[in-house]
């Protein structure tokens, strides 16, 4: 990716998260107004979800800017790993919102608190839902195009907010036409369950990223390259490892080469293989090929045996 292309990509991501922050503020204000008008527990659940969403977006706003900082002496691998923390926090606050809604719903069900001014509340919540629907579609589109997990996580959360708004509007309509006030608490409970489910998915994604879980798509792309005819001079490969952070994939592998190759030629062949892998991997890639002479391979590994206390180099 050229510098100008990278700058355009970063600017597009920053613009998207800035728009998300502004819309999140407007959505929270609108839903809070809807609750003050109606006193509905269901509307309150939607407003509470919007509040934690706003908090998560604020952290995402900071994370985007940090993740785009170039590597430095203290962070030679860059700052993109902040994405997993951002997504994890977003999932945690969503889950907390679900728990808060559960508590409020059960409390209001016991106390018999009923909503009022339902039509006005429906208009406000529906307007916020439409606004969030457009925002969620935009964030997912930009996030996938730029391979930015912060935007994708934020987009998923925003679309979750849309579904809760749809549930709120449907509930208020049913109450208006049926008079079944109990629906206010029951639907809020269902919304809370859905919110916690979505929050759990984001937390799992963050944990998998922090633990460097293999990305299946990237793994398949790399192994497809290695399954093809290798550059002349390379006999086989082993010890493939890779991890993807943000839009960058770091790849390591060992290759066994002809014993009599000059160093310059071996480097040329290794670089050719690195280039193939870099082209195949989605996004940017940093590939490191460790070259070993085929005849001395076993001996070289025996020399290193037992040096580490916990890491077995033969299986690293």
266 in the same domain as 198: no
Q: Which of 210, 234, 261 is the last residue of a domain?
A: 210
249 in the same domain as 205: no
Distances in whole angstroms, Cα of residue 27 to Cα of each of 33, 125, 130, 165: 10, 9, 10, 11
175 in the same domain as 298: no
- Position 275 scores a pLDDT of 94
3-state secondary structure of 186: helix
Q: State the residue range of the domain holding 272.
A: 216-315
56 in the same domain as 186: yes
221 in the same domain as 204: no
220 in the same domain as 80: no
Query: What is the domain-level CATH number for residue 226?
Result: 3.30.70.1350
- Position 293 scores a pLDDT of 85
Q: What is the 3-state secondary structure (H, E, C) of 272-308?
A: HHHHHHHHHCCCEEEEEEEEEECCCHHHHHHHHCCCC
pTM > 0.75: yes or no: no
- CB-count burial class (<10 Å; 0-12, 13-18, 19+) for 163: middle
288 in the same domain as 242: yes
- Position 167 scores a pLDDT of 74
Cβ neighbours around 24 below 10 Å, total:
27
Residues 6+ apart with CB under 8 A from 143: 13, 16, 149, 150, 151, 152, 154, 155
Residues 6+ apart with CB under 8 A from 150: 13, 17, 60, 63, 64, 67, 83, 86, 87, 143
188 in the same domain as 240: no
How far apart CA 51 and CA 96 sit, in angstroms, is 11
- Number of domains present in the structure of the chain: 2
63 in the same domain as 49: yes
Q: Which of 183, 210, 237 is the last residue of a domain?
A: 210
How far apart CA 61 and CA 266 sit, in angstroms, is 45
206 in the same domain as 220: no
141 in the same domain as 280: no
Query: What is the domain-level CATH number for residue 75?
Result: 1.20.1510.10
Q: Which of 210, 244, 264 is the last residue of a domain?
A: 210
What are the start-end ranges of the H helices in the chain? 3-38, 41-67, 82-111, 118-146, 149-178, 182-210, 216-227, 263-280, 297-304
- Position 288 scores a pLDDT of 93
3-state secondary structure of 176: helix
Read off the tokens for 1: 């990716």
235 in the same domain as 96: no
Query: Could you state, in chain order, the average pLDDT of each consecutive group of 10 residues for the chain (316 residues)?
Result: 65 85 83 75 69 77 79 82 80 79 72 62 78 87 80 78 76 75 74 81 86 89 93 90 85 91 92 94 88 74 71 61
């Amino acid at each position: 990716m050229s510098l100008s292309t990278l700058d355009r990509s970063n600017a597009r991501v920053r613009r998207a998260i800035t728009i998300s922050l502004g819309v999140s503020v407007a959505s929270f204000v609108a839903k809070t107004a809807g609750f003050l008008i109606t006193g509905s527990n269901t509307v309150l659940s939607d407003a509470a979800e919007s509040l934690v969403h706003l908090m998560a977006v604020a952290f995402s706003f900071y994370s985007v800017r940090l993740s785009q900082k170039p590597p430095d002496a203290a962070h030679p691998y860059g700052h993109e790993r902040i994405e997993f923390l951002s997504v994890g926090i977003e999932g945690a606050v969503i889950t907390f919102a679900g728990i808060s809604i559960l508590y409020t719903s059960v409390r209001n069900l016991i106390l018999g608190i009923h909503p009022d001014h339902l039509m006005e509340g429906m208009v406000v919540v529906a307007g916020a839902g439409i606004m969030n629907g457009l925002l969620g579609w935009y964030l997912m589109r930009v996030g996938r195009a730029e391979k930015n997990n912060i935007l994708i996580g934020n987009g998923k959360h925003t679309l979750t907010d849309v579904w809760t708004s749809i549930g709120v509007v449907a509930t208020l309509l049913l109450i208006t036409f049926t008079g079944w006030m109990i629906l206010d608490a029951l639907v809020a409970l269902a919304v809370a369950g859905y919110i916690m489910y979505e929050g759990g998915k984001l937390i799992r994604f963050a944990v998998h990223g922090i633990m460097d879980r293999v990305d299946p798509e990237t793994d398949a792309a790399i192994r497809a390259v290695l399954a093809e005819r290798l550059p002349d001079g390379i006999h086989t490969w082993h010890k493939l490892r890779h991890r993807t952070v943000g839009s960058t994939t770091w790849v390591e592998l060992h290759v066994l080469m002809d014993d009599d190759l000059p160093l310059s030629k071996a480097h040329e062949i290794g670089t050719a293989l690195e280039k193939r892998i870099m082209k195949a991997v989605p996004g940017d890639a940093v590939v490191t090929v460790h070259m070993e002479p085929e005849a001395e391979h076993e001996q070289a590994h025996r020399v290193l045996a037992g040096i580490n206390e916990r890491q077995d180099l033969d299986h690293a």
